[in-house]
Amino acid sequence: MQYVILGAGAAGIMAAKTIRKTDAQGEITVISTDTQVHSRCMLHKFLSHERSAESISFIDADFFEKNKINWLKGKTVNKLDTVKKTVFTEDGNEIGYDKLLIATGAESFIPPVGKLREANNVFGLRHLRDAQAIDEMAKNAENIVIIGSGLVGLDAAYGLMETGKKVSIVEMAEQILPIQLDKTGAFEYQKRFENAGASFYLGRKAADTLMNDEGNISCIVLDNGEEIPCDLVIVAAGVRSAVAGMDGEGIVIDRGIKVDDYLETGAKDVYAAGDVAGLSGIWPNAQKQGETAALNMCGKKTAYTDRYAIKNTINFFGLVSMCIGVIVPEETDTVVAREDSKEYKRVIIRDGKVVGVLLQGDISHGGIWQYLIKNQISVENIQKNILDLNFGDFYGIKENGEYQWNMS
């Protein structure tokens, strides 16, 4: 059996590992644009100089050799033939497959604002090569502008500030981390970033740019006419699934590649996992998708069931937060919140069930909330304040000492 995996990120590597564990004799080929395996979650550690390129790898140095995997690195697949079961690379190679996994991830979206797409000093932050280019240019950069204040934007800001750089962050929303947190939770991070020297331009859009004779953006022009001088621009304004060249017969692309419950595309024996499939792109979910796709590729029919909720964990300046499920409540939802000097909790209840939770400062009971949201368990009959829930409220002990779930 010839297995081909496109991509060496969380989903692709987990798929390769799972296939080898399941099929000791099959031939596995991994094709990736990346030349080094790395954790995308650790790129800010590279920018801060806390980690080297080698130390943000999440596999052993001999992973490919030990698992007898052929790795074609630094290669771009630009065409699929799902009828002849062949992938084509830009440099003219043709690789046949029996089972194919597309795990090409996503690419930074650079908006068509001014000369952002043409300039030499504008970067996204999705790959090690992006971080390396940013790190090199940052050596001589006095003013750095980051467009977007989500996790990627703040990761970049945090990493660069650790090296003493001055950072300005532009965000079109009225708060930072608008997808992950509410205003109360977000403001705690904003204060910490500002105290460390960051400047925020909230409720503002990048409307234009000024470019110098060297082809570099020298100024970002906001929608109110204000100008922010810059030597380096990092765009963290969202991503797009990396589907270029993936439109083989039977494959349906709508933002991401459409898959069924077994992560198979509309083309027989072709699967997709991770960001390219448009499912939850957080690291653990991408790994689970890679594992699930691999099991199905090996003939072990396994459904992917973790589509239930968004989950993010955030940690800047020692303040940790966890958000699960819905962040923005609807008008008919019940919102229960509590804030003190040590922690902030907010729960969103819809039709008697928890649909979203935000924990800040103390996330030790995050597992309870994840279980409630995932399994849509009613909390209508709970007598105590819902913010005081703990594991003891859900488990009793049988006569034989075994724990049992008490909630229906």
**Predicted confidence (pLDDT) per residue in 153-171, tens digit:** 999 999 999 999 999 999 9
Looking at per-residue confidence, does 283 or 343 come out higher?
343
Same domain, 262 and 334: no
Can you give the residue range of the structural domain that contains 384? 311-405
pLDDT for 375 beyond 60? yes
Q: At which of 228, 263, 297 does a domain end?
A: 297
Same domain, 233 and 247: no
pLDDT for 308 beyond 70? no
Same domain, 17 and 52: yes
Instruction: Note whether 167 and 160 are within 8 A (CB).
Output: yes
Would you state the structure tokens that stand for residue 158, as one six-digit string? 């945090």
Cα–Cα distance, 223 to 226 (Å, whole number) = 7
pLDDT tier, 266 (very low <50, low <70, confident <90, very high otherwise): very high
Would you state the structure tokens that stand for residue 207, as one six-digit string? 């409307």
Q: Which residues pair with 220 in a beta bridge?
A: 209, 228
Same domain, 141 and 67: no
Same domain, 229 and 250: no
Same domain, 324 and 394: yes
Q: At which of 263, 297, 331 does a domain end?
A: 297
Burial (CB count <10 Å: 0-12, 13-18, 19+), residue 383: exposed
Asked whether residue 302 is assigned to any structural domain, the reply reads: no
pLDDT at 283: 87
Same domain, 332 and 375: yes
Asked whether residue 306 is assigned to any structural domain, the reply reads: no
Same domain, 257 and 231: no
pLDDT tier, 260 (very low <50, low <70, confident <90, very high otherwise): very high
What 3 state SS string does 271-300 have?
A: EECHHHHCCCCCHHHHHHHHHHHHHHHCCC
pLDDT at 389: 82
**Each residue of 309-356: pLDDT tens digit?**
567 899 999 999 999 999 999 999 999 999 998 999 999 999 999 999
Same domain, 398 and 353: yes
Same domain, 258 and 342: no
Asked whether residue 289 is assigned to any structural domain, the reply reads: yes
- Structural domains counted in the chain: 3
**Each residue of 40-60: pLDDT tens digit?**
999 999 999 999 999 999 999
Asked whether residue 115 is assigned to any structural domain, the reply reads: no
What is the rounded (10 degree) CA torsion for 230, 232, 235, 241?
A: 160
Asked whether residue 355 is assigned to any structural domain, the reply reads: yes
Burial (CB count <10 Å: 0-12, 13-18, 19+), residue 330: exposed
| Residues contacting 159, CB < 8 A, separation 6+ | 43, 44, 45, 46, 47, 48
Read off the CATH number of the domain in which 93 is found.
3.50.50.60
**Amino acid identity, position 229:** P
Backbone dihedral angles phi then psi of residue 354, each to the nearest 5 degrees: -75, 125
pLDDT at 380: 87
pLDDT at 281: 67
pLDDT tier, 404 (very low <50, low <70, confident <90, very high otherwise): low
Cα–Cα distance, 83 to 97 (Å, whole number) = 11
| Residues contacting 397, CB < 8 A, separation 6+ | 403, 404
Same domain, 230 and 178: yes
Q: For the chain, give the percent of residues with pLDDT over 90.
A: 84
Asked whether residue 39 is assigned to any structural domain, the reply reads: yes
Asked whether residue 305 is assigned to any structural domain, the reply reads: no
Side by side, which strands form the sheet with 94-96?
77-81, 86-89, 94-96
202: three-class secondary structure by DSSP = strand
Would you state the structure tokens that stand for residue 389, as one six-digit string? 């829930």
Would you state the structure tokens that stand for residue 53, as one six-digit string? 């390129």
Asked whether residue 114 is assigned to any structural domain, the reply reads: no
Same domain, 68 and 164: no
Q: Which residues pair with 31 in a beta bridge?
A: 6, 72
Instruction: Note whether 267 and 249 are within 8 A (CB).
Output: yes
